[in-house]
């Protein structure tokens, strides 16, 4: 990418929102004459590939690290631990996000738009409409895909009325049946067929700090959690190896059951009693079963943060 180009980029272990909101926001900026281009920190997952193929969009350029002073727009994250390598010495010009503030500091003032909605793409779609920027059918499809993914077809507790209204409008613009397309997309992404235990343990991995405890939390959403639990021993080994490799003490893997709206939380490393305290349940056989839990952001991170106090 040329040096004067602004890179719009989501978090590491990109999910559908991180890639589709980067593509959507880059299109929004380009429509306003800004020299912006989408990037991605790693290859798209199966679900995101399904969305890109459905709407005939090429994946963004792979950007695994950025040089000093590179102008960046962060979408779908704002924490350094989740950002592309080199972010600390880059110039962040904008942040568009729907997560907690995670301790970032910048040299210069910047444009920040953070809202507690279910998806970054909800914010971006509404920026298009509010500012009368023409949205292509494919961008509408990508933004819709991100909302369906982040809200797990509106079932996640992070989902707001604004996400539902925005998705309905986007589905019309993208000419797809919302429920039918959403199920097909989630199905394409669910399941661990052809994945190694290491790849499963690395799915949608994010780094956090809970008090003094450095932790990583991954999440895999599936239709059939048993096929994941069947390889639990291998997953725990991969999670422990991750702790070593990433210099963290605790690794959690959310095995989220899309249909049953529940999560088996696998726990590797220490302190396990922090996890037990957070969810008021013992960690049994390296696992805590959490009915009704689907959201890392709303149902895992806050109790872990509270328990660490």
Please give the residue ranges that form the binding site for Mg ion (CB under 5 A): 15, 17-18, 76, 120, 150
Closer to Mg ion at the Cβ: 189 or 197?
189
User: Contacts by 226-231 with C-beta closer than 8 Å and gap 24+?
Assistant: 227/191, 227/192, 228/192, 228/200, 228/255, 228/264, 229/255, 229/264, 229/287, 231/192, 231/197, 231/200
Closer to Mg ion at the Cβ: 7 or 286?
7
Q: Cβ of residue 162: shortest distance to Mg ion, in angstroms?
A: 14
Closer to Mg ion at the Cβ: 120 or 203?
120
Closer to Mg ion at the Cβ: 80 or 249?
80
Q: Cβ of residue 185: shortest distance to Mg ion, in angstroms?
A: 14
Question: Distance between CA atoms of 214 and 37, rounded to whole angstroms?
Answer: 33
Q: Cβ of residue 114: shortest distance to Mg ion, in angstroms?
A: 11
Q: At residue 182, what are phi and psi to the nearest 5 degrees?
A: -60, -45
Beta pairing, strands 206-210 & 250-257? unpaired
Closer to Mg ion at the Cβ: 173 or 204?
204
Closer to Mg ion at the Cβ: 94 or 150?
150
Where does residue 175 fall: left (phi above 0), alpha (psi -120 to 50 degrees), or beta otherwise?
Answer: left
Its sign, for the CA torsion 11, 13, 17, 19, is positive
Closer to Mg ion at the Cβ: 158 or 286?
158
Q: Are 188 and 223 in contact, with CB atoms under 8 Å apart?
A: no
Alpha helices in 137-290 (DSSP H): 137-150, 161-174, 178-189, 197-201, 226-229, 232-246, 272-279
Beta pairing, strands 262-269 & 36-40? unpaired
Q: Name the residue whose CB lies closest to Mg ion.
A: 17
Closer to Mg ion at the Cβ: 63 or 286?
63
Beta pairing, strands 262-269 & 250-257? antiparallel
Closer to Mg ion at the Cβ: 112 or 241?
112
Q: Cβ of residue 198: shortest distance to Mg ion, in angstroms?
A: 20
84: DSSP letter: P
Q: Cβ of residue 25: shortest distance to Mg ion, in angstroms?
A: 12
Q: At residue 233, what are phi and psi to the nearest 5 degrees?
A: -60, -45
Q: Cβ of residue 61: shortest distance to Mg ion, in angstroms?
A: 19
Q: How far is CA 14 from the centre of its chain?
A: 6
Q: Cβ of residue 209: shortest distance to Mg ion, in angstroms?
A: 18
Q: Cβ of residue 33: shortest distance to Mg ion, in angstroms?
A: 27
Q: Cβ of residue 278: shortest distance to Mg ion, in angstroms?
A: 20
């Amino acid at each position: 990418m040329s040096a004067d180009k602004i890179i719009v980029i989501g978090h590491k272990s990109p999910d559908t929102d991180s890639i589709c909101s980067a593509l959507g926001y880059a299109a929004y900026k380009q429509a306003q004459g800004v020299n912006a281009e989408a990037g991605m920190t790693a290859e798209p997952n199966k679900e995101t590939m399904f969305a890109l193929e459905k709407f005939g969009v090429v994946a963004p350029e792979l950007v695994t690290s950025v040089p000093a002073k590179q102008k960046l727009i962060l979408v779908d994250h704002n924490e350094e631990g989740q950002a592309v390598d080199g972010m600390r010495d880059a110039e962040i010009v904008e942040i568009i996000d729907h997560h907690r503030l995670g301790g970032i500091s910048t040299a210069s003032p910047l444009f920040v738009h953070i809202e507690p909605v279910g998806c970054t793409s909800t914010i971006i779609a509404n920026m298009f409409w509010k500012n009368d920027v023409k949205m292509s059918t494919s961008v509408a499809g990508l933004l819709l895909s991100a909302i369906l993914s982040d809200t797990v077809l509106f079932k996640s507790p992070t989902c707001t009325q604004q996400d539902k209204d925005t998705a309905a409008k986007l589905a019309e613009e993208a000419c797809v049946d919302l429920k039918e397309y959403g199920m097909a997309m989630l199905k394409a992404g669910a399941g661990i067929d052809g994945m190694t235990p290491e790849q499963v343990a690395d799915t949608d991995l994010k780094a956090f700090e809970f008090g003094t405890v450095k932790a990583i939390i991954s999440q895999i959403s599936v239709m059939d959690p048993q096929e994941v639990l069947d390889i639990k021993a291998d997953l725990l080994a991969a999670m422990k190896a991750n702790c070593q490799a990433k210099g963290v003490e605790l690794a959690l893997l959310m095995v989220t059951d899309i249909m049953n709206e529940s999560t088996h939380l696998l726990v590797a490393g220490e302190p396990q009693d922090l996890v037990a305290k957070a969810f008021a349940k013992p960690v049994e056989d390296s696992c805590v079963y959490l009915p009704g839990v689907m959201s890392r952001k709303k149902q895992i991170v806050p109790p872990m943060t509270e328990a660490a106090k």
